[in-house]
Chains A and B, each alone.
Chain A
Amino acid sequence: MVSKVVTVVNAEGMHMRPAGMIAKAAKEHTDSEIVMKANGKEIKAKAVMQIMAAGIKKGTDVELIVSGGDEQAVLDEFVKMFEDGFGE
């Protein structure tokens, strides 16, 4: 298991588009279980509605936890998505 804390940089927070991107990426990594911890909640990265419902706003710290599969590579990929502000 590997993990890293990232900060949400998008002005709009984790709205529909970022949530969709995360869920899509999470589903592609079938060997890894990817969980996000934010606002005291544990969220499955492939559950798009959970991510949206968590209402994660700009500036929130999110802990990314990856277990199984190519853990470090998957974690890096997700960290990069957050850092890039999901291409926004």
Chain B
Amino acid sequence: MTTLKGKGVYGAIALGRISVFTRREASVKRTHIEDIEAEKARLTKAKEKATEQLRAIYEKALKEVGEANAQIFEIHQMMIEDEDYNESIESIIETQSVNAEYAVAVTADNFSEMFASMDDAYMQARSADVKDISNRIISCLSDEGGSDAVSDEKVIICADDLAPSETVQLDKDKVLAFVTAFGSSNSHTAILARNMNIPAVIGVGTELLNTVKSGVFAAVDGYTGEIFIDPDEETVARLEKKRKEDEEKKHLLQELKGKENVTLDGRKINIYANIGSVDNIGAVLANDAGGIGLFRSEFLYLESSDYPTEEQQFAAYKRVLESMAGKKVIIRTLDIGADKQVDYFGLEKEENPALGYRAIRICLTRPEIFRTQLRALYRASAYGNLGIMFPMITSVSEVEKILEMCSEVKEQLKSEGVEVSDKVELGIMIETPAAAIISDKLAPMVNFFSVGTNDLTQYTLACDRQNANIEQFVDTHHEAILRLIEMSAENAHKHGTWIGICGELAADTSLTETFLRMGIDELSVSPTFVLKVRDAVRKCDLSK
């Protein structure tokens, strides 16, 4: 048994086999081979396996995201069969007597170069598809023996760190726990783990990937941050017991379902849920959230290979609103940039992306993108109780511009005879110190505020969310942050504007009473935290 320790970011226990997450862009070595025919046979086998994987992904996508979005994986299968592509690979193997991995990698470079040099942004982005299928073939070539990647067993994912785009692609039904060598408690892996209700341990250090191997049995304790690799019987028994107790405790919380979010002295508050995709609605309803306080619309953009159309967006928003059947649904407009990148936006690499071209800044300078989203949102508004929220606000003039565009879009739709709700609430995120400081001026302009504590913390304390080295300096309870929230709450209420908190801090039950005393009207948390926060609210007595 080997024990490693990192930082637990979600308290839960998992026991199962490890699957090491390998990035498909592994470096490829050029090796000389003797048997050209054998190498070509290896290639054929790998291609068959890659095609089989793509067929499975296509089937899965077909069910989850519909035919239009699944089609890409069918085209990827065709690309693998492409004559020119294959001729190139085989001729490199034959003429240079090299390994198939190398031949695929060189061919991938040539073909993706060809697309990248085209004068059409859409076609330029296709070079990523060539790289994607090539990497898939290369990974099929390299793990000819092991087949744990296609197993149906749930696994503990071990990785150096996971990018948002990588987590999107993970099959979430097959993840027991996340363990990463790097990453901070604000990283996407951590957020995802909380959303999924599974243990996560981060910052284990470089020895993680030197120690773990796919297929090895392990136990993860998300409370203590410990990982037991190949644990002895005693450890297995101890953790299995802890896991059962844990489940019982969570079961007790379930009994709070259907109960009100009310303090002992009668103060009521709304507890909503944060979600990042239509798939999470089940979790929102299962955990009895009163609404959706933050629906991140980025998934529509992150999962797509081109700008999602008004129709696609409308369909997604309508589905959420209808599923929530009249309960409040607050959809945040596009928050791309910084740590969430999308190829087809063609954003330049920035020195300092958190302070860069992101979120509302993109929307205000590329109004065509913003207008498409606003049109889709307003069209969907007729199907439920919609709130629209704008991220990364720093000034009054930004809000003026946004409100102007909103009313333009609304009027335009009405003139087209489209049904639009007149009850759409508009709100802004308070996630920059600037917005909190001028909240007295912003409050009369909107219906609600929602405090994004993750970014507010990062900007107030000058601490990069993604930098694990400065974790010790990130004091999420810092007085400066709490004062900014309190100030925003006071200013909001002066103007009849309501205020919620949708950042990670909203789920921190050691602050629930503090927030209630500030007069916060709504807390929006991961679906799995709704009942825990309800429990905390019901134990508060503000009269004391």
Q: Which positions in A face B, CB cutoff 8 Å?
A: 12-13, 15-17, 19-20, 23-24, 27, 44, 46-50, 52-53, 55, 57
Contacts and interface: CB of A to CB of B under 8 A. Distances in A.
Given A12-B122, A44-B83, A49 B75 contact: no
Contact of A49 (B71, B74, B84, B118): B84
B83 A17 contact: no
Interface residues of B, number: 23
Nearest to B120: A55
A12 B120 CA distance: 10
Contacts of B115: 52-53
A15 B78 CA distance: 14
A52 B120 contact: no
A63 to B, nearest CB: 20
Contacts of A57: 120
A85 B14 CA distance: 51
B123 A49 contact: no
A24 B122 contact: no
B75 A17 contact: yes
A23 B74 CA distance: 11
B130 interface: yes
A48 B82 contact: yes
Interface string B56-94: 000000000000000110110011011111000000000
Interface of B is mostly: helix
Nearest to A46: B83
A49 B111 CA distance: 9
Specify the main secondary structure of chain A where it touches its partner.
Answer: helix
Nearest to B71: A17
A31 B114 CA distance: 30
A49 B78 CA distance: 9
A55 B75 contact: no
A42 B331 CA distance: 48
Contacts of A46: 83
A6 B65 CA distance: 33
B72 A16 contact: yes
Contact of A20 (B75, B84, B130, B305): B75
Nearest to A24: B78
A31 to B, nearest CB: 17
Given A23-B78, A49-B111, A16 B126 contact: yes
B303 to A, nearest CB: 16
B123 A50 contact: no
A31 B129 CA distance: 30
A13 B79 CA distance: 19
A50 B87 CA distance: 13
A17 B69 CA distance: 10
Contact of B71 (A20, A47, A52): A20
Contacts of A23: 78, 82
28 contacts: A12-B122, A13-B120, A15-B122, A15-B123, A16-B75, A16-B126, A19-B75, A20-B71, A23-B78, A24-B78, A27-B78, A44-B83, A46-B83, A47-B83, A48-B78, A48-B82, A49-B82, A49-B85, A50-B82, A52-B123, A52-B126, A53-B114, A53-B115, A53-B118, A55-B119, A55-B120, A55-B123, A57-B120
Contacts of B130: 49
Given A53-B114, A55-B120, A47 B84 contact: yes
B118 A48 contact: no
Contact of A55 (B72, B118, B129): B118
4 nearest CB pairs, A to B: A20-B75, A48-B78, A49-B82, A23-B78
Q: Which of A19, A47, A49, A55 has the most CB of B within 10 A?
A: A49
Contacts of A19: 75
In this complex, the member of A12, A48, A50 whose beta carbon has the largest number of chain B beta carbons within 10 angstroms is A48
A53 B84 CA distance: 12
A16 to B, nearest CB: 6
Contacts of B118: 53, 55
Nearest to A57: B120
Contacts of A16: 72, 75, 126, 129, 305
Contacts of A12: 122
B193 to A, nearest CB: 34
Contacts of A15: 122-123
B411 to A, nearest CB: 26
Given A20-B75, A55-B118, 11 more contacts: A12-B122, A16-B72, A17-B75, A19-B75, A24-B78, A44-B83, A48-B82, A49-B85, A49-B111, A52-B115, A52-B123
Contacts of B119: 55
Nearest to B118: A55
B332 to A, nearest CB: 28
